[in-house]
Amino acid sequence: MKKGLAIAMFLLVLGAWSPTFAYVLWGYKWSSPNITYECDMYGDYTTQCNNGKTEWSNWTDANLSYSSSPGITTTAGNFGNVSWSGLCSVGSSSGSTVYRMDISINTYYTDGYSSQKRKGVITHELGHALGLGHENRLGPGGAVMYDNDGRTVYSPTQDDINGVNAIY
Ligand SMILES: [Zn+2]
């Protein structure tokens, strides 16, 4: 009886703990939750970027507002057969504080994607731009920050949202 209770409590703690702390932080953060962006790519890339931006902005403590001279920049282009469909790189930073994040979308792959999958790629990269790293412990389907292109998640999950809210 006592042993059973201990196991039950351990499982309860484990169950409560793992979803709360599954997200991984990249190590960079903006100095304020008010972050500027642009989605000035073209066609469906702009549409899906705006869709992903709206979810991050509405669902987390980060506030994304448009600027023609933004912190988060986006580019869609044919970067060839280079193994990535989306990339987020630090454009400017000082220590862990970031001043610019540059997102690249590789149309070599993504032109052949559905709009939904394109949105998944861009939303994932926006997650990096906000300061999230890759979350693979929850497996495919657990987080938009899972680092696999065969993604089944197109929007931030509760784990992704918790990660951004832990930063801002
Ligand atoms: Zn990634």
pLDDT tens, 14-55?
Answer: 444 455 569 999 999 999 999 999 999 999 999 999 999 999
Confidence of residue 140 (pLDDT cuts 50, 70, 90): confident
Question: What's the full length of the chain, in residues?
Answer: 168
Residue 105 near residue 76, CB atoms below 8 Å: yes
Distance from Cα 85 to the centre of ligand 1, integer Å: 10
| Mean pLDDT across 64-78 | 98
Fold of 22-167: Collagenase (Catalytic Domain) (3.40.390)
In angstroms, the CA 167 to CA 67 distance is 22
Q: What is the per-residue pLDDT for 2?
A: 46
**Hey, what are 42's tokens?**
């073209």
Strand intervals (E) in 8-147: 34-37, 63-66, 72-77, 86-94, 97-106
pLDDT of residue 20: 53
Residue 95: predicted pLDDT: 97
Give 79 Cα–ligand 1 centroid separation in angstroms. Answer: 16
How many Å is the Cα radius of gyration of the chain?
A: 17
What's the pLDDT score for residue 7? Answer: 47
Q: How far is the CA of 10 from the centre of ligand 1 (A)?
A: 32
Strands annotated E in the chain? 34-37, 63-66, 72-77, 86-94, 97-106
Question: Two tokens at 23?
Answer: 């997200």
What confidence score (pLDDT) does residue 58 get?
98
pLDDT value of residue 138 = 87
> How many whole angstroms from 129 Cα to the centroid of ligand 1?
10
The rounded Å distance from CA 19 to ligand 1 centre is 20
pLDDT at 149: 60
Predicted confidence at residue 152, as pLDDT, reads 85
- Please provide the average confidence, as pLDDT, over all residues in the chain: 90
pLDDT given for residue 151 in this prediction: 74
- Mean pLDDT computed over 121-146: 94
* Cβ atoms of residues 149 and 140 within 8 Å: no
CB-count exposure of residue 22 (10 Å: 0-12, 13-18, 19+): buried
User: What ranges do the domains of the chain cover?
Assistant: 22-167
Give, as one character, the DSSP assignment of residue 33.
S
3-state helix, strand, coil in the chain (%, to 5): 40, 20, 40
Q: What is the pTM of this model?
A: 0.88
